Amino acid sequence: MNSVPQHVAIIMDGNGRWAKAQGKPRSFGHLRGTENVRNIAIKANELGVKVLTLYAFSTENWKRPAEEVNYLMGLPKIFIDRYIDELMQKGIKIRMIGDIEQIPSETRKVLERAFEKTRNNKNMTLVFALNYGGRKEIVDGINRYVKQLDDKDHVLTEDEFSRYLYTAEYPELELMIRTSLDYRISNFLLWQLCYAEMCFIDKYWPDFTGEDFENIINDFMQRHRRFGGLE
């Protein structure tokens, strides 16, 4: 039996389809999805997950209509204004991975304030993947590595390279969940998914409950992870 996974990641997909199914605009689905982040974060913290990484906006999501992109960029403020007190109370730290440079300055300010305010919280870390791309993360890591390199004969190891990724400070990813039943990775955590268990769920993100999350954690704990060996 495995322990509770230290690091869980979720591709929170299906907000648009969820809204469409009830004849509402896509933004309504995104708002409900944001409210659900609170529920799942509280549940994950209760269960003893140490890091929960949520895919909130990919480097490819800029292709969407400006109106939707603007709406999505306003969601961190809504989330933080509504839930920061509760997150503080529960000892949850907020962080992000991805390129913050392209994020509108208002949103950046709100995020940076939340990082600062929650930085000493010691329970779970809630990491938003925002303007995140898995390939971009690897290329950014290579560029940072090359920049500091002075011995051209140095042989880079996998462990050493991991420290150049956005996730350097977090434990190994053990479980990845995607809602809405699309069986793809969509440029998420390409390196980190190496030996993560995966779970694809037949529910849109706004309908995904704490109970669903708990069931997945229990299922994870029963899985037989071999890592290529025979044990």
Which of 37, 72, 96, 176 touches ligand IPE by CB under 6 A?
A: 72
Q: How far is the CB of 159 from ligand IPE (least distance, A)?
A: 28
Distance CA 176, CA 200 (A): 9
Which of 34, 36, 52, 55 touches ligand IPE by CB under 6 A?
A: 55
Kindly state the tokens that stand for 229. Answer: 């060996």
Catalytic, 153? Answer no
Distance CA 167, CA 132 (A): 12
Kindly state the tokens that stand for 104. Answer: 């509108």
Catalytic residue among 61, 121, 123, 187: 61
Distance CA 13, CA 16 (A): 8
Within 126-185, which residues bind ligand IPE (CB under 6 A)?
A: 180, 182, 184
Instruction: Specify whether the CB–CB gap between 17 and 28 falls below 8 A.
Output: no
Of 184 and 225, CB closest to ligand IPE: 184
Distance CA 5, CA 124 (A): 12
By the rule CB under 6 A, 12 interacts with ligand IPE: yes
Catalytic, 61? Answer yes
In the chain, the DSSP E strands lie at 7-11, 51-58, 93-97, 125-132, 175-179, 197-201
Q: If contact means CB under 5 to 8 A according to the sort of partner, which of Mg ion, ligand IPE, none does residue 44 touch?
A: none
By the rule CB under 6 A, 13 interacts with ligand IPE: yes
By the rule CB under 5 A, 12 interacts with Mg ion: no
Kindly state the tokens that stand for 94. Answer: 């907020």
By the rule CB under 6 A, 83 interacts with ligand IPE: no
By the rule CB under 6 A, 203 interacts with ligand IPE: no
Catalytic residue ranges: 13, 61
Which residues contact ligand IPE by CB under 6 A? 11-17, 55-58, 61, 72, 180, 182, 184, 186
